[in-house]
Chain A
Amino acid sequence: MPHPVALVGAELEENLSLRYLAASVAADGSRAELVPFNAGSDSDQVVARIAALDPLVVGISVPFQTRARELVGLAARLRERGVRAHITLGGHFATFEYANLLRDFPAVDSVVRHEGELTLRDICRRVRDGQSVAGVPGTVTHGAGGLVDSGRRPLPPLDDLPFPDRRGAARTVLGVATAPLVGSRGCYADCSFCCIHAYHRTADGPRYRTRSPENIVAEMREDYERRGVRLFVFHDDNFLVPSLERNLERCRQLQRLMRDAGLDDVAFVIKCRPTDVHPELFSLLRSMGLIRVYVGIETNSDEGIVSLNRRVTPEHNRRALAVLRDLGIYGSFNVLMFDPEATLDGVRANLDFMTRFADIPFNFCRAEVYAGTPLQRILEGQGRLRGDYWAWGYEMRDPRVEVLFRIVTTAFAARNFKSDGVANLTLGIRFDNEVLRRFYPDAWDPAWHDALIDFTRRVGLDSVRGLERALAFVSASDVRDGDAVKRFAMALCQDVARADLQFVTECKAFRREMERRVAMLTGSSDLDDDGAPALVSSVGMGVSTEILPVPHQI
């Protein structure tokens, strides 16, 4: 059997980037093996698996800084293990940091910049034929005189790409088979913090490309028939274009094609900018099966909108969420409350917004500095960029805002950023509720729905109250008084933790009730030891709230 191509990356869900690559090399006659690498602790297992495959080429997907070091570090470990394959890196992070990575990790043979389907295909051909990879457009490789940049590769039309590899069973949510897909790549906007914009701006082609509705529906139909997929998660960075007429036209075409293909019993989720939320368009999308939309609110403060180059107004933000609320469409949003120019007034404006829309799940954090972004260049130019290419950072201009950020990041760390934290649990239970409403309407009722919205609102308002306390503290206190700041942060941490216990307890009760309802309706026999429906978490048993010590078993 010929040596395969090993494609390494996170596979917490179907990893579309790896699966597009797998389909591309398979179409060229190579065998692709997907090697999930979901956490640093998987490293030994991943190395052993790749060594056993004895691959021709190893492709490592490095999309973000977060896990970049352990992903890139895999190359050296593979060499130590005797793997002689050509090792190449790809993804957003590698696209921008290729020079640093090739300098610091000699075990890496090449970096694929920008979209990799055709470039990886050509690398595999060259390696298979015993030729040098240098000269393959889209690559950067080691050369005798330094790095060899073989230039950019023109981006292909998306309809020309093979559909992503869909090996394996589809994941399920409440028994409904689910799959991610994309109908476009890139984004028409140019937010200063956004790596998506940076990635596509520097590529050789349009910064926003769409697939034809026919091509999208053909893929949906294939997965519908083959794996029973009914719930489609559109991972488009932005599902819509900045024109109501064009959006209506495209979505009506999608609707017609979906009907013709028998896809009238599906649901889908999208992401979009607030400027593109319009009642007529979203009524149409809802009728097609839209059950959730992530709206890129990002900030509602005047200075944040400028600093982050959002090109929206607070009225756009308000109207977008009001439209969704009026239409009964489940939405969620994130607030980049902190950015280099954030002010206390801006924080207040965001808190007002979060209070107003507390019934819609949200999260909040700082605008981080991603490789290649305008934000990185701006901060570098101002001499404010801290850290290194693995993790850039900065301090906010106003020290009170900086300390506020430090306090709330500490106090809300578990709530906002843990996979089983209250923020994610709230998003999850609300999403499951929409799955229930769409696919099991007999198990769903308005009172249940209202209870979940009330839960969401209480979580949101509790976060706002904590933020307001912290805001009042930094407004009235000496933020350089380390002891006082620490005492305040400690007290806030404890209050958030107490509230989280209550919220998680409630959320688990909601979840059990939801599963019970579905089990009764479907006659599922997946029961656990105490007769309740089995709690099979999509995040596995390793997360804290899912560790359920049943006394007679442990």
Chain B
Amino acid sequence: MGATDKARRAAAGMAGVALATAGLSNCDGIGAVDPPPPPLQCSDVNAGQNLFAQAVRNDSTVLVTIQNFAQGGLTAASITDTTGPVRLLLVNGPSPETSRGLMLVFHVLDFQVPTATFTLNATFQISDGPECTITRTFTLDLSGGGVTVTSDRADPLPLGSRAPAAIALEERRGHEVELEATTEYAGRWKASWTVSAGTIDDPGARRVRWTLPEEPGVYQAELLVDYGPDGLAVDTVMLEVRPV
């Protein structure tokens, strides 16, 4: 009996042998392919990447709202290193009422000086993860009687976020599938979808319904997640319509 015959007999002799030729039949030995980074880490929030600030001004009072967009919440916060023509009057939060964010109230002392800065030092509890420290400096632009709040981005180079996006397949009904965009990105993001064929009900929604063509073939949905200045992430899903 030759080598091949012996192997074939051995294979056929095992109950329930399945013909497995698959993408990963040899992944065990691929070796050094590094996986993408894990979900949210302290390094994703240490520089306050998860925070978004807005400000409104009422004459000599400036209200700054700092919102968190990451999975988790601020657990403590303090404001330090305030410079320029403002004095901190009130820190409200972090608390469930502020959605684990903060409200700050400043009093404008000098209408002639256009900019002020303050630094937020906080601790942030990642959901099902570690507690992290956050430090971020914000700048208030008080010129022209209004106010805007900005902050140097944590990473001066483009595409700073490596948070992957992933498509979750939620439901299948006939030729319709429901897909949902997911990401662990800590800030604000928006989704956009394109498909190689068929129709998609709302290409800008996070959850969409994709109606596949009747014709057999492999079709692709592509999700592009826009992280604003922090970059973008892409994922694709390919589904096959087979003959009835």
Contact = CB atoms under 8 A, between A and B. Distances in A.
B38 A390 contact: yes
Interface string B12-54: 1110011111111111111111111111011100000000000
B222 interface: yes
Contacts of A410: 159, 231-234
B144 interface: no
B222 A497 contact: yes
Contacts of A524: 17, 19
Contacts of B222: 493-494, 497
Given A69-B38, A391-B38, A417 B33 contact: yes
Interface string A537-549: 1110001111111
Interface string B146-159: 00000000001111
A439 B4 contact: yes
A228 B13 contact: yes
Contacts of A535: 22
A67 B40 CA distance: 12
Interface stretch (A22-30, A241-249, A342-350, A361-369): A361-369
B237 to A, nearest CB: 4
B11 interface: yes
B14 A486 contact: no
A269 B162 contact: no
Contacts, number: 305
B3 interface: yes
Interface residues of B, number: 80
A486 B158 contact: yes
A321 to B, nearest CB: 15
B92 interface: no
Interface of A: 12-13, 64-69, 73, 104, 169, 171-177, 180, 228, 230, 233-235, 264-266, 269, 271, 292, 294, 296, 298, 332, 334, 336, 363, 365-366, 368, 386-388, 390-391, 393, 395, 399, 402-403, 406-407, 409-411, 413-414, 416-417, 419-420, 423-425, 427-429, 431-432, 435, 438-442, 479-482, 485-486, 489-490, 493-494, 497-498, 500-501, 504-505, 507-508, 511, 514-515, 518-519, 521-522, 524, 526, 530, 533-539, 543-552, 554
Given A68-B38, A431-B25, A518-B19, 8 more contacts: A173-B26, A177-B11, A266-B7, A292-B26, A417-B33, A435-B25, A486-B232, A548-B240
7 contacts: A265-B3, A388-B41, A391-B38, A428-B25, A501-B218, A536-B22, A538-B23
